[in-house]
């Protein structure tokens, strides 16, 4: 292709969409962390109850 001198190139990144996706990923990560923590607590309880 040809380069135009003085032309302004648009960004290929949709900033708002990327931020929304990042926030959703963070919330999913936090939720999964809480689930794993709860499962760990249950396993510890069962382990102690079996003794």
Q: According to the model, what pLDDT value does residue 1 have? A: 66
- DSSP character for 18? H
Task: Indicate whether this model's pTM tops 0.75.
Answer: no
Q: How many CB atoms lie within 10 A of CB 27?
A: 10
Compute the distance between CA of residue 35 and CA of residue 41 in angstroms, rounded to an integer: 10
pLDDT in tens, 1-51: 677 787 777 778 899 999 999 999 999 999 999 999 999 999 999 999 988
Q: What is the pLDDT of residue 3?
A: 73
């Amino acid at each position: 292709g040809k380069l135009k001198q003085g032309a302004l190139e648009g960004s290929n990144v949709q900033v708002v969409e990327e931020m929304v996706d990042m926030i959703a990923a963070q919330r999913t990560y936090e939720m999964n962390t809480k689930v794993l923590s709860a499962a760990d607590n249950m396993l510890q309880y069962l382990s102690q109850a079996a003794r």
